[in-house]
């Protein structure tokens, strides 16, 4: 068998250092590995580079090779093709998954981001309207001060896992009709961390954090409403292993108001006005979120009319301006009249010619049937 050009195969100079050879092999192996690229030609190349690496990574074999011998061509050890029984896989794994960490593989960190937390905050309407400041008591996880998040007891360190040698994963090579297939899975002994905490911190049982109750002061802006979520970045619980904290969300729950109904940033309410006051006009003292206010009821105010008090609603969230307060008027028809009142009413009706008034439709309130008729007549 002709002597192979192992340096050329790996693309390194003859005086390349062991580290350079390892790097070159690792780079090529990533491209040519049968898991990545199963076509036969690539597999053949993979065998070649692996063979080259097997020789050049072993100082004795490299020396022999440099002096003119070829450990594979000699027929000793592995048979033709070289890649097979007796192959020192551990070295190849080492090169392929090497600890230097290129390619993003390797043990996973114990530190993970903490979870988000949500707490409900009940507000009454005026708090939503104008904003408020609340002190909230939160049950949360904070960094364990004893181990500062490492999870290891004071004065100890996590040991490197002896099953995966700190890599966090274990690899297995199996033969298939495509050739050698290498599969890796998280190390079952260390759970993929690459290290094992033999003496967990007593304070946090190795979690790196402890539960506690803390009080935080939050500013709730004007204009929030039922269901609004306010995000407080980094105020959630800290992550395991000293990982960064999650976020805290405040979910606003708005208590219903006994007088005002909120629709968007407007408020609605209904006032009852006696018929006489609606007819003659009056001044009504109204309770608003800004305190008592005088409401001018014009003479001849009709039932169902809406009187606006501009800018007496809810502050717009993150914008200037406020919604309105809309007052719906309900006119009370006098009932249970005494004799004198009834006499006055009859007199009024007579003076207005309303003793037997004709029923008529209010403008704009056509019945369904008249609309249907208009549609048929093409009006
Ligand atoms: Zn601890
Ligand atoms: Zn392990």
Domains of the chain, first to last: 6-97 (1.10.287.110), 112-147+207-256 (2.60.260.20), 261-333 (2.60.260.20)
The Å distance, Cα 177 to ligand 2 centre, comes to: 30
pLDDT of 199 above 50: yes
Report the binding-site residues. 144, 147, 161, 164, 187, 190, 201, 204
Nearest ligand to the CA of 170 is 2
Nearest ligand to the CA of 153 is 1
Report the binding-site residues for Zn(2+). 144, 147, 161, 164, 187, 190, 201, 204
pLDDT tens profile 24-61? 988 888 888 777 777 888 888 888 888 889 889 888 88
> What pLDDT is recorded for position 88?
42
The Å distance, Cα 155 to ligand 2 centre, comes to: 22
What whole-number distance in Å separates Cα of residue 60 and Cα of residue 64? Answer: 6
Provide the 8-state DSSP code for 78: S
What whole-number distance in Å separates Cα of residue 108 and Cα of residue 196? Answer: 12
pLDDT of 207 above 80: yes
Q: Identify the helix (H) or strand (E) that includes residue 328.
A: strand 325-332
What whole-number distance in Å separates Cα of residue 147 and Cα of residue 151? Answer: 6
Mean pLDDT of the chain: 85
The Å distance, Cα 164 to ligand 2 centre, comes to: 4
> What pLDDT is recorded for position 47?
86
What whole-number distance in Å separates Cα of residue 127 and Cα of residue 22? Answer: 67
pLDDT of 338 above 80: yes
The Å distance, Cα 319 to ligand 2 centre, comes to: 55
> What pLDDT is recorded for position 374?
67
What whole-number distance in Å separates Cα of residue 359 and Cα of residue 351? Answer: 19
Paired tokens of 100 = 């230097």
Give the Cβ contact number of residue 185 at 10 Å: 10
Average pLDDT over residues 222-231: 95
> What pLDDT is recorded for position 93?
46
> What pLDDT is recorded for position 229?
94
The Å distance, Cα 106 to ligand 1 centre, comes to: 25
Paired tokens of 348 = 């009024």
What percent of the chain is modeled with pLDDT above 90?
Answer: 57
The Å distance, Cα 170 to ligand 2 centre, comes to: 7
The Å distance, Cα 145 to ligand 1 centre, comes to: 6
The Å distance, Cα 100 to ligand 2 centre, comes to: 17
């Amino acid at each position: 068998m002709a002597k192979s050009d192992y340096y050329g195969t790996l693309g390194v100079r003859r005086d390349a250092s062991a580290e350079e050879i390892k790097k070159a092999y690792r780079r090529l192996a990533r491209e040519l590995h049968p898991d990545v690229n199963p076509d036969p030609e690539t597999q053949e190349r993979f065998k070649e580079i692996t063979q080259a690496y097997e020789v050049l990574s072993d100082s004795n074999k490299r020396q022999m090779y440099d002096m003119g011998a070829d450990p594979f061509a000699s027929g000793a050890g592995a048979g033709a093709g070289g890649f097979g029984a007796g192959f020192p896989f551990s070295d190849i794994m080492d090169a392929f998954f090497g600890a230097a960490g290129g390619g993003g593989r390797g043990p996973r960190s114990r530190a993970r981001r903490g979870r988000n937390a949500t707490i409900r905050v009940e507000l009454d309407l005026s708090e939503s309207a104008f904003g408020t400041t609340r002190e909230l008591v939160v049950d949360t996880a904070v960094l364990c001060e004893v181990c500062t998040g490492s999870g290891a007891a004071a004065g100890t360190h996590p040991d490197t896992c002896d099953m995966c040698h700190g890599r966090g994963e274990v690899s297995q090579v199996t033969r298939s009709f495509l050739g050698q297939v290498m599969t890796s899975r998280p190390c079952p002994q260390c759970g993929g961390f690459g290290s094992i905490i033999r003496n967990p911190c007593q304070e946090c049982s190795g979690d790196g954090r402890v539960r506690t109750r803390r009080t935080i002061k939050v500013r709730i802006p004007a204009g929030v409403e039922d269901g609004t979520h306010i995000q407080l970045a980094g105020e959630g619980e800290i992550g395991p292993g000293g990982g960064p904290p999650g976020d805290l969300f405040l979910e606003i729950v708005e208590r219903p108001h006994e007088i005002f109904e909120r629709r968007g940033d407007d408020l609605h309410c209904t006032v009852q006005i006696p018929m006489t006051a609606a007819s003659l006009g009056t001044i009504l003292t109204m309770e608003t979120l800004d305190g008592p206010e005088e409401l001018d009821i014009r003479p001849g105010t009709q039932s169902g009319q809406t009187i606006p008090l501009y800018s007496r609603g809810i502050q717009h969230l993150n914008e200037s301006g406020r919604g309105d307060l809309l007052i719906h008027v309900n006119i009370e028809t006098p009932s249970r009249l005494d004799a004198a009142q009834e006499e006055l009413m009859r007199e009024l009706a007579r003076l207005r010619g309303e003793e037997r008034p004709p029923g008529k439709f209010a403008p704009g309130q056509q019945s369904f049937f008249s609309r249907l008729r208009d549609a048929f007549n093409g009006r």
